[in-house]
Amino acid sequence: MKKKRGVFLAGNWKMYNGPGAARSFLSKLVERVKSSQTIEKAIMEHRLVVALFPPALSLHVFREGKEMFPFLKYGTQNVHWEKEGAYTGEISVPMLQEMACDYAIIGHSERRQLFGETDIAVGKKVCACIAGGITPVLCVGETLEERERNSTFEVVERQLTEALKDVSPKDVLASLIVAYEPVWAIGTGKNARDEDAQDVCRHIRELLSRRFGEEAGEAVSILYGGSVKPGNVEGLLRQADIDGALIGGASLQVDSYLEIIEGALKVLA
Ligand code: 13P
């Protein structure tokens, strides 16, 4: 078995944990991480990245606490591609920079399905992030119907091709994370089987290598998301092409998020 280069754990809080809840989550997390030398060591040695994606209104809590917990990375769940303008309800890359964000989730299936986000919009957002020094966490994944039609590879290929149409190999090498999130596994308690998730993640890596070169394909972290829990994270992370996890529900509580972090440490050991 190939030894893991490192593991990227990302907690997507969706529309949970406003500023008050974010503050208490963070102080509890910092206290627990500081008392665990193994977690701190893995982070310092760049073998483990722990990131959170709170609602935009909770970002200032992360910004204010940055000196206290420099180990923690964070970002937003969405961003607009324009720098500013009359776009009611949107936030821009310069605003993310002001909040010292590291990442932005782009093209999450909830944005695609509930808010009509198209592949073209996803592509513009990816480019805006890269231009502004924010690493996009680009989400792709098929619906249940598409899986049953055996169209998973085709769907993922279309989503990746559109989103990365104007991106260069240099950008991919320096700044891209891809998250494979099968829509049918999100919030359902039904995660993809380890080997099925691995098959799609390997396909994603092959597509990236073909399009941007092998070095870029190998450099990209590919995450799996969809009902990741303390009980299944280890099996998923042991797959050769799964470099991390994008976690929804189980990232909302410090205890379950920490159990997931501990599962990742076992894989890194
Ligand atoms: P769950 O872990 O709650 O299934 O959510 C996954 C997800 O959508 C993360 O972005």
Per-residue pLDDT at 87: 98
Cβ neighbours of residue 47 under 8 Å, at least 6 residues apart?
4, 5, 6, 7, 268
pLDDT digits (tens, 9 = 90+) for 145-190: 999 999 999 999 999 999 999 999 999 999 999 999 999 999 999 8
Cβ neighbours of residue 247 under 8 Å, at least 6 residues apart?
9, 10, 11, 12, 225, 228, 257, 260
Are 186 and 179 in contact by the 8 Å Cβ rule? The answer is no
Q: Is the CB of 251 under 6 A from ligand 1?
A: no
Q: Is the CB of 226 under 6 A from ligand 1?
A: yes
3-state SS record for 179-234:
EECCHHHCCCCCCCCHHHHHHHHHHHHHHHHHHHCHHHHHHCEEEEECCCCCCCHH
5: confidence class by pLDDT, cuts 50, 70, 90: confident
Answer yes or no: is 220 within a domain: yes
- Indicate which CATH number applies to the domain containing 248: 3.20.20.70
For residue 1, is pLDDT > 60?
no
Per-residue pLDDT at 66: 86
Q: Report how far residue 195's alpha carbon sits from residue 60's, in angstroms, rounded to the nearest whole number.
A: 39
What are the tokens at 180? 């494979």
Domain total for the chain? Answer: 1
Q: Bigger pLDDT: 95 or 34? A: 95
Answer yes or no: is 47 within a domain: yes
Query: Containing domain of residue 221, as a range?
Result: 7-268
Q: Which of 242, 240, 204 is nearest to 223 (CA)?
A: 242
Q: Report how far residue 229's alpha carbon sits from residue 246's, in angstroms, rounded to the nearest whole number.
A: 10
36: confidence class by pLDDT, cuts 50, 70, 90: confident
Q: Which of 183, 268, 244 is nearest to 51 (CA)?
A: 244
pTM value?
0.96
CA-based torsion, 111, 178, 265, 101: positive or negative: negative
Answer yes or no: is 1 within a domain: no
Answer yes or no: is 258 within a domain: yes
Q: Is the CB of 51 under 6 A from ligand 1?
A: no
Answer yes or no: is 171 within a domain: yes
For residue 67, is pLDDT > 90?
no
Tell the residue nearest (CA) to atom 5 of ligand 1.
248
Share of the chain above pLDDT 90, in %: 91
What are the tokens at 128? 């805006």
Q: Report how far residue 206's alpha carbon sits from residue 200's, in angstroms, rounded to the nearest whole number.
A: 10
Answer yes or no: is 2 within a domain: no
Are 15 and 110 in contact by the 8 Å Cβ rule? The answer is no
Per-residue pLDDT at 215: 95
Answer yes or no: is 190 within a domain: yes
Tell me which of 181, 188, 190, 224 to substitute to probe ligand 1's pocket, judged by most ligand atoms within 8 Å of the beta carbon: 181
Are 84 and 91 in contact by the 8 Å Cβ rule? The answer is no
pLDDT digits (tens, 9 = 90+) for 113-138: 999 999 999 999 999 999 999 999 99
- Is 114 buried (19+), middle (13-18) or exposed (0-12) by CB count in 10 A? exposed
